[in-house]
Homo-oligomer: A and B are copies of this chain.
Amino acid sequence: MRPFELKPIGIIRSEHREPGKTPIQPVYCPECEGRVIVAPEYTEGLADIEGFSHIILLYWFDRAGPSALRVRPFLENREHGIFATRAPCRPNPIGFSVVTLLRREGGTLHVSGVDILDETPLLDIKPYSGRFDSVTQSRDGWQEGIGEDTARRLGRRGFDSSNALESAA
């Protein structure tokens, strides 16, 4: 199968400059604001996005390490397959975050819940739809063994060598 080509359609700005100190998921950093700056040639595509309270951002993990098939994710010391985790070092390093849309100013979207490194290349924006996207009952595999307090503490602080579960406990 031949490779596919993606073009950056903009850039994501945030307060997060170091991978090891970047929050892991939007739910753990609701107060982190940022900006999604869409390149001028694509801003027409933002029409009517203001009506949505949440948007899905797809972006390129441009500072991820080399791809690995087994990783130790931020919530655990055990290894899991990369596709059973949200780690960035994926075969196709595409990031996915659902963020809160605060307001739009032309080609700039002001958002909160930003768990994304500053200057990350933007690939796509999709409206989050409560109708399509909310799974109210899910079984969450290895994550179910981890208490919400622990997840919240580690999730906000980011993932570096000091926040493995054993040292954080």
Stretch of A12-20, A53-61, A160-168 on the interface side = A53-61
A130 and B141 alpha carbons, distance in the complex (Å):
11
Interface residues of A in 108-150 (CB under 8 A from B): 121, 123-144, 148
| A: number of interface residues (CB 8 Å) | 69
Can you list 20 A-B contacts with CB-CB less than 8 angstroms, sorted by A residue number? A1-B8, A3-B5, A5-B5, A25-B132, A42-B69, A45-B84, A46-B84, A47-B79, A47-B81, A48-B141, A52-B141, A84-B127, A85-B127, A127-B141, A127-B143, A128-B135, A128-B140, A129-B138, A130-B135, A131-B151
Cross-chain contact B132 with A26 (CB below 8 angstroms):
yes
Instruction: Give Cα distance in the complex from A131 to B150, angstroms.
Output: 12
Taken together, the copies of this chain in the complex come to: 2
CA distance A141 to B129 in the complex (A): 9
Contact B48 A142 (CB under 8 A): yes
Most buried by B among A45, A69, A94: A45
